[in-house]
């Protein structure tokens, strides 16, 4: 067995209704002044008001930053950090989807005034210290509450990552009640995104691919495979919502330590250029990347397939890996997601630009079980078109 490192959030708390205890948690673990980082959509749901009520009831003064955007650009993060500095807060609470949680992580670092955003891009460059940090996810997708990763949009369409154990939160608070109001399309896209995390973590060529991540990835796919369609089509089902939130978190722990690969590398240019939500971008290229990989490296996909789709256990080897790719494509369609780049109004003559940009994602491509050239990336986009 190869040496490996496994890092995750210090404390994980799971259960319906836990948002009501956020005030006690903050008072006990952070102090009396915090910044709440969220987005305008969350404010409209009323969930932010519920959090504020619980915080104020516990005697916690709250500075609210609610301007987070999807695929957050640098200026949003820098503005939030300056607001946190000006309010002299003692800690940060992130509430929302992956974008809000990613912003909260970086604000916790930058508000200390010891590091600059431009200096901490890449792996291991954020050294800390940071402010105390609690993350509360409201979607079952990114697993950001247990990952040492924050993704930032730089310039007009490029994305860069800050990857460091420093930005793992002190507490990940998972309340499945917060996901009950998610629309079907968002439930589907974030759900497929979380499944991608588990799949890519299991198959990752990273030298840190490890038994813990693989076990977590398998359990994540078991939970999500049995529940994603129910969560999409019967959104008030608490058991399905709980499976999805816990599965997303387990997948987050898996890929936080055994990193993702070409699915994400090819998805990022779709989000950068066309502002396609990250989960949907992953879903659009997922079966095509896996078919490319499985042609030479079928074993990990054959191993993990029955976790998500128990009926595939009757197949073996390459046949099972191929059936897994087909089952994922069928699942995406059954969830109601768009199935092609053409449906997203992407011009076919733009595909070479996407392939070129995907090659910039070297941090991810190095983890792919099969090497990907620019010509390979173009062929995958063409298959997805």
- Per-residue pLDDT tens digits for 103-136: 999 999 999 999 999 999 998 999 989 999 999 9
Q: How confident is the model at residue 247 (pLDDT cuts 50, 70, 90)?
A: very high
pLDDT at 157 over 80: no
Average pLDDT of span 198-203: 98
Strand (E) or helix (H) holding 22: helix 22-29
pLDDT tops 80 at residue 330: yes
pTM of the model: 0.93
**243 contacts 267 by C-beta, under 8 angstroms:** no
Please, which pLDDT band fits residue 237 given cuts at 50, 70 and 90? Answer: very high
> Could you tell me whether strands 158-163 and 149-154 are parallel, antiparallel, or unpaired per DSSP bridges?
antiparallel
Q: Is the pLDDT of residue 224 over 80?
A: yes
CA distance 3 to 53: 46
| CB contact set of 171 (below 8 Å; sequence gap of 6+) | 9, 10, 11, 12, 13, 25, 29, 133, 134, 135
Q: How many CB atoms lie within 10 A of CB 295?
A: 12
Contacts of 302 (CB under 8 A, 6+ apart): 315, 316, 317, 318, 320, 321, 324
Tell me what pLDDT residue 25 has: 95
Tokens representing 269 are 């240019």
Average pLDDT over residues 167-192: 95
Mean pLDDT of 58-71: 95
Closest residue by Cα to residue 86 from 66, 59, 113: 113
Domains of the chain: 11-179 (3.40.50.1970), 185-384 (1.20.1090.10)
Segment 161-175 mean pLDDT: 95
Q: How confident is the model at residue 298 (pLDDT cuts 50, 70, 90)?
A: very high
pLDDT at residue 161 is higher than 90:
no
Residue range 52-64, pLDDT digits in tens:
999 999 999 999 9
Q: Is residue 86 pLDDT above 80, yes or no? A: yes
The two three-digit tokens of residue 257, written as one number = 């330590």
Q: How confident is the model at residue 201 (pLDDT cuts 50, 70, 90)?
A: very high
For the segment 60-87, the average pLDDT, to the nearest whole number, is 95
Overall average pLDDT of the 352-365 stretch: 94
The pLDDT value recorded for residue 181 is: 85
pLDDT tens-place string over residues 30-49: 999 999 999 999 999 999 99
Whether the CB-CB separation of 335 and 191 falls below 8 Å is answered with yes
Q: Residue 4's pLDDT is what?
A: 96
| pLDDT at position 170 | 97
**Pick from 7-11, 159-163, 196-200, 240-244: least confident:** 159-163
For residue 156, is pLDDT > 80?
Answer: no
pLDDT at residue 71, rounded to an integer:
85
* pLDDT for position 326: 97
Name the helix (H) or strand (E) containing 63: strand 61-65
Assess contact for 190 and 224: CB atoms under 8 A.
Answer: no
% of the chain surpassing 70 pLDDT: 99
Q: What is the mean pLDDT of residues 72-90?
A: 96
How do 61-65 and 11-14 pair as beta strands? unpaired
Distance CA 99, CA 97 (A): 6
Q: Over pLDDT 90: what percentage of the chain?
A: 93
SS3 16: coil
The strand pairing partners of 250, in sequence order, are none
């Amino acid at each position: 067995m190869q040496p490996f490192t496994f890092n995750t959030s210090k404390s994980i708390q799971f259960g319906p209704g836990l948002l009501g205890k956020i005030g006690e948690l903050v008072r006990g673990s952070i102090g009396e002044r915090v910044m709440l980082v969220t987005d305008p959509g969350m404010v409209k749901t009323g969930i932010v008001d519920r959090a504020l009520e619980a915080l104020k009831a516990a005697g916690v003064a709250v500075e609210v930053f609610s301007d987070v955007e999807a695929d957050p650009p640098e200026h949003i993060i820098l503005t939030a950090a300056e607001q946190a500095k000006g309010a002299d807060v003692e800690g940060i609470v992130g509430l929302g989807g992956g974008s809000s949680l990613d912003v909260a992580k970086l604000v916790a670092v930058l508000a200390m005034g010891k590091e600059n955003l431009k200096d901490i891009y890449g792996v291991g460059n954020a050294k800390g210290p940071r402010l105390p940090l609690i993350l509360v996810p409201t979607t079952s997708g990114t697993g950001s509450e247990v990952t040492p990763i924050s993704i930032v949009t730089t310039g007009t369409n490029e994305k860069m990552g800050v990857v460091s154990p420093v930005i793992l939160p002190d507490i990940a608070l998972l309340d499945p009640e917060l996901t009950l109001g998610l629309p079907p399309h968002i439930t589907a896209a974030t759900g497929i995104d979380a499944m991608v995390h588990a799949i890519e973590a299991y198959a990752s060529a990273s030298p840190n691919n490890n038994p813990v991540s693989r076990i977590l990835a398998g359990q994540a796919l078991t939970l999500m495979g049995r529940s994603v369609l129910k969560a999409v089509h019967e959104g008030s089902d608490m058991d399905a919502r709980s499976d999805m939130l816990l599965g997303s978190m387990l997948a987050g722990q898996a890929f936080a330590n055994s990193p993702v690969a070409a699915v994400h590398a090819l998805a990022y240019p779709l989000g950068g250029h066309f502002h396609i939500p990250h989960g949907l971008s992953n879903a659009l290229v997922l079966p095509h990347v896996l078919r490319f990989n499985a042609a030479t490296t079928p074993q990990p996909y054959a191993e993990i397939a029955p976790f998500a789709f128990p009926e595939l256990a009757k197949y073996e080897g390459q046949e099972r890996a191929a059936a897994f790719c087909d089952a994922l494509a069928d699942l995406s369609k059954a969830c109601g997601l768009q199935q092609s780049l053409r449906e997203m109004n992407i011009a076919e003559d733009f595909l070479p630009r996407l392939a070129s940009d995907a090659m910039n994602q070297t941090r991810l491509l190095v983890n792919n079980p099969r090497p990907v050239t620019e010509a390979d990336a173009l062929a995958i986009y063409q298959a997805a078109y």
